Structure 1
Amino acid sequence: MSTVLFSISKLATLILFPLPLILLLLLIAGGKLKRWKEKFSIWIPVVILWIFSTSTVSQKLVQSLEIYYPPVTLDRVPKADVILVLGGMVSTLSKHDEPVELYNTAERLTETVRLYRAQKAPKILFSGGSGNLFYQEVPESEPAGRFLRQMGIPDSSLILESKSRNTSENVAYTLELLRERGWKSVILVTSSFHMKRSVEIFQGKGIQLIPYPTDFRAQKAVLTLDNFFPSTFCLENSTISIKEWIGILVYKIRHS
């Protein structure tokens, strides 16, 4: 009986969660329209959104980025002058100062702590201001620095860069700090899906870069409801993957 109830609860999410529910309602509404042109004007965008919200497609997209930088074990990471972690894992909009609110990219910070404790570098450079178009009061480096201190990282080992708003500015501002201090070797910590673009922007800047990807989203190829039905998690993976490929393309065009 418990198996039956479990199955029912899982299937119920297909009609109770907002994303699949709205898409199903739109498909039904489109079917009630009289003209085929009107039907397809509803069905086509709904089907496209449905497809990108399944793991079948979102996994292909995210793996197309993660394949470039597979996981690296700590023992294979050489020592460097500094650990550079790119922002994008800490909320600057949380109503509460404590505890520090981390996104699902939190491994960027937690793996940075592991690298530091393994004595891979004596310094941590966090790069991240505010990527919010309208709210610039709190840079991401502020709560990130607070979190790192709570994890036992001393102030003497922390450098916080608070002006950058995107990946290009991450690189520009951190390069200034690296050159000021004469640091030549950098362990770069960011999400695996973001590593390809980050490395390409850093290339040719006279820095020995040691990529240390985190936050892997590739999943085992097993049968789940997400293979066929839309979920917000899969839609998020598709969205960030498309964003990264657009960013890579734009960078190549601008520097070709």
Structure 2
Amino acid sequence: MPSAESHQPLRAHKRARPGPLRLLGWLFGIAVLAGAVFCAGFVWFVARLPSAEMVFTEKADGIVVLTGGASRIEDAIDLLARRRGQRLLISGVNPMTSEREIARLRPEHEKIIACCVDLDRTAINTITNATETRRWVKDRGFKSLIVVTSSYHMPRAMAELSHQLPETQLIEFPVISEQLKAGWAHGPTLRLLFTEYVKYVAAVARIQVPLFDRFFA
């Protein structure tokens, strides 16, 4: 007759294998925790977005504006005209857009636009905005940079630019869109912010994992 000791390893082995219901419970708990963290991150993301235009007194070697909505280019030209930077890079300009069309946005600053604005027609997204900005900054020898983009796009833009320019001082100039001025807690604006948050999380994750980042270098 086998001894009780001979059955002990078998019983221990069975206890070490969780049943399918317990495994599903663990997976459900992990999913709930991940969802809670993700939602808390979204609340943090929205809470840190400015809701009003800022009083800006900073200066830098250069200014970069990432093309898009919310009068970003006009605000960047105004900063250049106020001598907040030596030159302005407009990154992500449509290849069909001419210098004359840019000048029409601020005709009162036509001369400074003609002398001190560079157009980047290569960038097609925030990643390439950052790589083209890096080339421009390195070519100019700039050590500091004012970054102009919409407030909701700023976290992702700063993540990408910080990754490409770790030794450059980056100064935020967030442009407040009319949607955010009206409040974020209604359908279209909420969808816009949530989509941007997802893109921001994906960008940070990609930057933190070198294997992923190589595909976008």
Does the TM-score normalized on the shorter chain lie above 0.5? yes
Aligned residue for 1:255, secondary structure, equals helix
Q: What residue number does 1:182 align with? A: 141
1:148–1:218: structure 2 CA closer, same or farther, 3 Å change rule? closer
Q: TM-score, normalised by structure 1?
A: 0.54
- Alpha-carbon distance in 2 for matches of 1:84, 1:151: 20
Tell me, yes or no, if the aligned pair for 1:86 and 1:190 is still in contact at 8 Å.
yes
**Cα offset, 1:220, TM superposition:** 6.8
Q: Indicate which of 48, 57, 63 corresponds to 1:67.
A: 48
Confirm or deny that 1:80 pairs with 2:48: no
Q: Which amino acid aligns with 1:78?
A: E
Report 1:8-47 matches (<5 A).
none
Select which of 174, 179, 182 maps to 1:213. 174
Q: Sequence identity, in percent?
A: 25
Task: Classify the secondary structure of the residue corresponding to 1:152.
Answer: helix
Query: Is the 1:190–1:212 contact (alpha carbons within 8 Å) kept by the matching residues of 2?
Result: yes
How far apart are the structure 1 equivalents of 2:77 and 2:47? 22
Structure 1 or 2, whichever has the larger Rg, is 2
Distance 2:75 2:45 in 1: 23
Q: For residues 201 and 44 of structure 2, what CA distance do their matches in structure 1 show?
A: 17
Q: Deviations over 1:70-106 (max 9, x none)?
A: 64313xx3211111111013xxxxxxxxxxxxxxx12
Amino acid at match of 1:244: E
Quote the Cα distance in structure 1 between the aligned partners of 2:45 and 2:172. 17
> Hey, what's the Cα distance between the residues in 2 that align with 1:218 and 1:62?
15
Offset of 1:143 from its aligned partner? Answer: 7.1
Give the structure 2 partner of residue 157 of structure 1.
Answer: 116
- Counterpart of 2:73 in structure 1 is 109
TM norm structure 2: 0.63
CA contact (8 A) 2:93 2:119 kept: no
The alignment covers a number of residue pairs equal to 161
8 A contact 2:73–2:90 mirrored in 1? no
- Structure 1 or 2: more helix by fraction: 2
How much does 1:144 deviate?
5.8
Counterpart amino acid of residue 65 in structure 1 = V
Gap change, CA 1:215 and 1:147, over 3 Å in 2: farther
Deviations 1:26-84 (A, max 9, x none): xxxxxxxxxxxxxxxxxxxxxxxxxxxxxxxxxxx79943624564313xx32111111
1:203 to partner: Cα distance: 1.5
Shift of the 109–171 alpha-carbon distance from structure 1 to 2, 3 Å rule, reads same
The answer (yes or no) to whether the contact 1:80–1:121 under 8 Å persists in 2 is yes
Q: In the alignment, which of 102, 106, 111 is matched to residue 145 of structure 1? A: 102
After TM superposition, what 4+ stretches of structure 1 lie above 3 angstroms from structure 2? 61-66, 68-71, 141-144, 146-149, 216-221
Secondary structure of the structure 2 residue equivalent to 1:85? strand
Q: Find the residue that maps to 1:79 and give its secondary structure.
A: coil
Measure how far apart 1:127 and its partner are: 0.4
Gaps of 5+ in 1: 1-60, 90-104, 131-136, 228-233
Tell me how far 1:218 sits from its aligned partner: 3.6
Deviation (angstroms), 1:247: 0.9
Give the Cα separation in 2 of the matches to 1:162 and 1:175.
14
Name the counterpart of 2:193. 241
SS in 2 for 1:187: strand
In the TM superposition, what is the alpha-carbon distance from 1:124 to its structure 2 partner? 1.3
User: Are residues 163 and 200 of structure 1, via their aligned partners in 2, closer, same or farther at CA, if it must alter by over 3 Å?
Assistant: same
The CA distance in 1 between the partners of 2:101 and 2:187, in whole Å, is: 27
